[in-house]
Amino acid sequence: MPYDILLPRTNLPQAVYVFTDLDRLGAADLAAARGLAAAVERHLGAAAIVNDPRTMLTRFPLIEALRARGNAFAAYRADQIDDTTPIRFPVFLRRDDGHTGAASDLLPDREALRAAIAAQPEHQGLYVVEFADTKDPETGVYTKYSAHRVGDRIVAEHVIFSRQWMLRRSDLVGPEYLDLEQAYVDTNPHEAEIRAVFDLARIGYGRIDYSICPDTGAMRVWEINTNPDLTTPPQAERMQRYFQISAMMVEALRALDASLSPA
């Protein structure tokens, strides 16, 4: 339900209220969403709220919290940096309310960064993000993992393989990559680490995107998207996995809905 329809409502039917896309709300709507969460808690209890807008960490506050735990890259508001800001290059630009990836190429130095920021039509909500290189040094392949949290369940969704640093779609789909992706979906090997990041962010529904450093095995978390795309099928070679994940997501969503049902 869109926020502009939901927020004016005064009746609160029994349901699980999953708040999404909080990073896209303006200050007034975010305050209204927090008020709605408080009303849901009063009428239905805290268990009826997922992604509580009063406590949930959005994209860049989560990056800051993870950096303190060794995530190894930082993000800075573009309108708050100067020549003394200890930025580690290369960097790229990204918007806090966007889901289309980087807003620039990799920028090697401060001169390139200043030019890229100046070229942006709007500086509010613009961030400078340090690049964390997770490319396999032997193959030159970047790997990005994605998994969903739905209530108490972690569902391993897909793996993207590419020789491009900004991974939006898998452009390596040979049999060896399909086998690696299927093994990830079947074994969910990073479930404990994924759950810990969701708990830190106080997010109960969303999709985490991350990579694993080839040299250390450490997780590098890129973001948690609280309104991920659930409807677009992947390439034909990956369709069997798509149907498998769809069934797992439906089961998880039904379990979340049933968690508030009367005994």
Extract the tokens encoding 221. Answer: 């978390």
Q: Are 113 and 103 in contact (CB under 8 A)?
A: no
Question: Has residue 60 been placed in a domain?
Answer: no
One-letter-per-residue 3-state SS of 200-252: HHCCCEEEEEEEECCCCCCEEEEEEECCCCCCCCCCHHHHHHHHHHHHHHHHH
Q: What is the CATH number of the domain that holds 223?
A: 3.30.470
194/66 Cα distance (integer angstroms):
12
Backbone angles phi, psi at 253, to 5 degrees: -65, -40
Q: Are residues 121 and 223 in the same domain?
A: no
Q: Does any domain span residue 56?
A: no
Domain count, the chain: 3
Question: Could you list the pLDDT tens digit for every one of the 263 residues in the chain?
Answer: 888 888 887 788 889 999 999 988 989 999 999 999 999 999 999 999 999 999 999 988 999 999 988 888 999 999 889 989 999 999 999 988 766 778 899 999 999 999 999 999 888 889 999 999 999 999 999 999 999 999 999 999 999 999 988 876 778 878 999 999 999 999 999 999 999 999 999 999 999 999 999 989 999 999 999 999 876 767 787 888 889 999 999 999 999 988 876 54
Same domain, yes or no: 180 and 218: yes
Both 148 and 108 in one domain: the answer is no
pTM for this one? 0.91
- Residues 104-146 have pLDDT tens digits of 999 999 999 999 999 998 888 899 999 999 999 999 999 999 9
Task: For residue 107, give Cα distances in angstroms to 25, 133, 221.
Answer: 29, 14, 21
Asked if the structure places residue 66 within a domain, the reply is no
Q: Is the dihedral of CA 124, 130, 134, 140 positive or negative?
A: positive
Q: List the domain range (segments joined by +) for residue 104.
A: 74-130
Same domain, 249 and 175: yes
In this structure, is residue 68 part of a structural domain? no
The per-residue pLDDT for 88 is: 95
Q: What is the pLDDT of residues 18-34, one digit of tens each?
A: 999 998 898 999 999 99
